[in-house]
């Protein structure tokens, strides 16, 4: 469940920021009123933001678990290799990383670099 006090305080702070920009009857006499429609809209927005944050946190936890499982899998494969195969794989991974340094500017190499680095880390750790 979401933290209701945080949601309510976020809605109130948004209301305090938005209220001066909206004119209502009584403002010209100094008798400002509470604007229920504005606050309800901001409260709904705060709830939506909290739901999105919770969903994002769930997705991040799933992604972290997947990356950890993938790392364990790479490590198991590296441990199953013979020392000769492992050293050949390390040399190949380092050569591929060096080759990516000469890639053209328009080529996106970040994902491949990260993949090669994780493979290299698993191979050297085994």
3 CB neighbour count, 10 Å cutoff? 10
Instruction: Specify the pTM.
Output: 0.59
Please give the average per-residue pLDDT across 26-37, as a whole number: 79
Q: Rounded distance, CA 114 to CA 67, Å? A: 12
pLDDT surpasses 70 at 118: yes
Could you tell me if 4 and 54 lie in one domain?
yes
Residue owning tokens 């340094």: 101
pLDDT digit string, tens, across residues 57-75: 999 999 999 989 988 998 8
Report the C-alpha dihedral over residues 12, 14, 16, 20, rounded to 10 degrees. -150
Could you tell me if 51 and 88 lie in one domain?
no
Structural domain span for residue 112: 81-126
pLDDT digit string, tens, across residues 75-105: 898 889 899 999 999 999 999 999 998 888 8
Residue 24 confidence (pLDDT) = 75
Could you tell me if 50 and 11 lie in one domain?
yes
Could you tell me if 91 and 126 lie in one domain?
yes
């Amino acid at each position: 469940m979401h933290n209701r006090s945080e949601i309510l305080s976020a809605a109130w702070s948004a209301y305090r920021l938005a209220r001066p920009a909206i004119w209502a009857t009584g403002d010209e006499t100094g008798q400002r009123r509470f604007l229920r429609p504005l606050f309800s809209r901001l409260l709904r927005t705060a709830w939506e933001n909290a739901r999105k944050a919770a969903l994002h946190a769930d997705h991040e936890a799933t992604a972290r678990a997947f990356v950890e499982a993938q790392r364990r899998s790479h490590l198991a494969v590296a441990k199953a290799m013979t020392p000769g195969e492992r050293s050949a794989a390390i040399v190949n991974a380092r050569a591929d990383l060096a080759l990516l340094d000469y890639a053209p500017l328009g080529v996106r190499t970040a994902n491949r670099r990260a993949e090669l680095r994780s493979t290299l880390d698993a191979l050297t750790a085994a």
